[in-house]
Structure 1
């Protein structure tokens, strides 16, 4: 069979869940509902962070960045999936696939780094409270947020180039619902061990280094909290970090499973449902975690809604 790289193809077919037609309608309804809630939840967090002056702090600056990331990430994947589930044409153009892979990888990588930055913010808030406003200066916050975006999309550019230079022997059926790295590796008609090693190295850089910094930050945070004598003070400190830690666990758990395991252990059906979790469930749940567990966000929401009600 003639070897061709990705750029010689005109497009790909996203098989998605076509082998389970009885499941497609159920998934369409469920995912549409989840997507609407993800849009509403993340848009609300972004709006509140800008409208309420009490939320003009580093913590909520990073939180609004995270909500914007989740909003863009789920929008880069879910609309295409919904069209796929309800239509007979399950194709995506070559350019569309490149853009989707680049954007989803870039946003996912940015979120990895940003969650590490948010852990540092929580570390300073709990362990260095007297110096918090000095250390977490608006310029430093903007610099760290910009660095997160740069690192995420630089990593995405490298991975996208590596993937689309692979010879795939004219095969164009992706056994997935969006253009994702593990599915592309299965199309290659050459030994991909070298590429997998390079991708693993990039994955370690973008996933495990932020995880290490998060673990270090929280070790210091726990030590600081245990030194607080009052139970109320301990509860307040744990409450400050609890939402972020829950989001970190959800995000990194699924991302590490999807990207840092050997491809021969990667079940494609299992991988699809894991991907559904981190592309739609996590972006929908994140705003709920922050609003349900955060008094400042709930207070801001009440003030904004009450103000709108009074204006009528």
Structure 2
């Protein structure tokens, strides 16, 4: 419904979701989790054409985060929430493929994360030092169960922080893609009676070049080249990680196409996603993704 009419059922539901998420964002344990989900109801408002309402709600987010103690970072985050919701809604409206909304949303989320990290750094907080400290505290709580002494705890925390430092570009990219995907799926569910359903996971089709990048980057990592060049070493590690992540998604899509439409399909999807947290299972997904990509390329060329 347009701006001048009454709010539809979807808009009213989105308003309820917005204020629930905003309230949870002001509670410290939930701040980081729910703040990144605030675009969901705003996407609904933009998609339904309630532009003034979406802008007013964005202003409310800015005031709430600023008053809640986030200060300037909260204002920047609110602007990012408003922007990402707008570009994702526009992508949903103008582009047939659902992946356009994920791509544009992920790019804006990356921008938001970099701005927030820059503001944290500007405030005098060293992110990686704080990370090592938090990891040490967490490991010490499990020290007896894991059989680690104090030296081992410090070493393990430093190793994990070093890995995150090395893989930081990939970590930010993967988190941004996941955030964009979650926001899109949730917004589409709220709009399910207003927009035509479009396949998402089952429509994933990576180009064969992703397999080539993965194989070459993984080979470079296994051979330790170019470990003596910091930028090159970070580049090949992040290329292997990102290509492996997307091939893993392709592997999950491969399995999803085989269980879709069957009884308990969503339970199977939950189990598949939970299994991806296990290293052996995620490796199997990558192998399935490679097979699926190559089979699709062969059929297309043949």
Instruction: Compute the TM-score of the two structures, normalised by the length of structure 2.
Output: 0.29
Larger RCO: Structure 1 or Structure 2 (Cα < 8 Å, ≥ 6 residues apart)? 1
